[in-house]
A = this chain, B = another copy of it.
Amino acid sequence: MAKNKPLILITNDDGITAPGIAAMIDVVRSMGDVVVVAPDKPQSGMGHAITINSTLRINKVNIYGVKEEYSCTGTPVDCVKIAVNKILPRKPDICLSGINHGSNMSINVIYSGTMSAAVEGAIEGIPSIGFSLCDHSIDADFTASQKIVKRIVKNVLSNKMPKDVCLNVNIPNLKHEHIKGIKVCRQARANWIEELDERKDPSGKSYFWLTGKFENYDEGSKDTDVWALDNNYVSIVPTQFDMTAHQAINTINKWKF
């Protein structure tokens, strides 16, 4: 923790005007100097995309009355990169992404712009947390989430985040008194079974909406984020960016190339 006020970087993937980012800013504005760098439009499902084939712009805004606020034309990961390398006077003490409208439990971590921003924070050596509320709606109630954000941010500022790790926090859509507690979990083995919703445009040509059903292959395991959320707990999955399947190295070493 910094000797002075903590420097707090906030981003998200729903865009700078989303109610979820407003809810996050309100919780932490008294905890330090807040700088917001968030996408100028929704960037859900952007995963760890970065903008390398085109250019980026940032625009100063004044929506929340914090230290500095910018909207950025890029992805959530671009926002973190541009904040750290162009906007902030020093490495922030914490990077917060969200509060996302909708769950980022299980495999969603890999598709999520919210979580990819937090992972990028970890890559850059910043204690980082992605927060998501399991409610997609624009008028989601963030009251309970705000209390959870406060508890977790305070812990991260006072404890040392493990090296090369960020946190994936999902909050069940419940009133605070109905949330049973906080569980540290692993990412459930689950998947989306796609259903490509085929439609015809006015000239009769097909186009598709990507949609699907969430399938949990870890039913019964009580150590997963899906179980925690189903059972009214907040889930925290410590998340890393080393994607090596270390356990598979020996097996593949036996192949005859």
A3-11, A90-98, A240-248: which lies at the interface: A240-248
Structural contact, B51 and A210, CB atoms closer than 8 A: yes
CB distance from A73 to the nearest CB of B (A): 9
Copies of this protein in the complex: 2
Q: Within the assembled complex, what's the spacing in Å between the Cα atoms of A238 and B252?
A: 8
Q: Which of B51, B123, B208, B240 contacts A45 (CB 8 A)?
A: B51
- Label chain A's interface by main secondary structure: mixed
Decide: A210 near B107, CB < 8 A? Known: A155-B257, A245-B238.
no
The interface size of chain A toward B, counting residues with CB under 8 Å, comes to 79
Q: Which of B53, B86, B111, B208 contacts A48 (CB 8 A)?
A: B111
CB distance from A21 to the nearest CB of B (A): 17
Structural contact, A57 and B210, CB atoms closer than 8 A: no
Decide: A257 near B151, CB < 8 A? Known: A51-B45, A56-B210.
yes
Decide: A208 near B82, CB < 8 A? Known: A162-B248, A251-B162, A257-B155.
yes
Per-position contact with B for A117-152: 1 when CB-CB < 8 Å, else 0?
A: 001000110000000000000000000000000011
Chain B neighbourhood of A2, CB < 8 A: none
A28-36, A61-69, A170-178, A187-195: which lies at the interface: A187-195
20 more A-B residue pairs beyond the given contacts A238-B245, A240-B243, with a C-beta to C-beta distance below 8 A? A45-B51, A45-B52, A47-B77, A49-B49, A49-B75, A55-B208, A56-B207, A56-B208, A56-B210, A57-B208, A82-B196, A82-B210, A84-B194, A86-B198, A107-B241, A162-B247, A162-B251, A184-B252, A241-B243, A243-B243
Chain B neighbourhood of A191, CB < 8 A: 123-124
14 A/B residue pairs, CB under 8 Å, sorted by A: A52-B210, A55-B207, A56-B208, A82-B210, A107-B123, A107-B241, A151-B257, A155-B257, A184-B252, A238-B244, A240-B244, A240-B245, A240-B248, A241-B243
CB distance from A169 to the nearest CB of B (A): 11
Q: Within the assembled complex, what's the spacing in Å between the Cα atoms of A111 and B184?
A: 27
Chain B neighbourhood of A194, CB < 8 A: 81, 84-85
Q: Within the assembled complex, what's the spacing in Å between the Cα atoms of A125 and B239?
A: 22
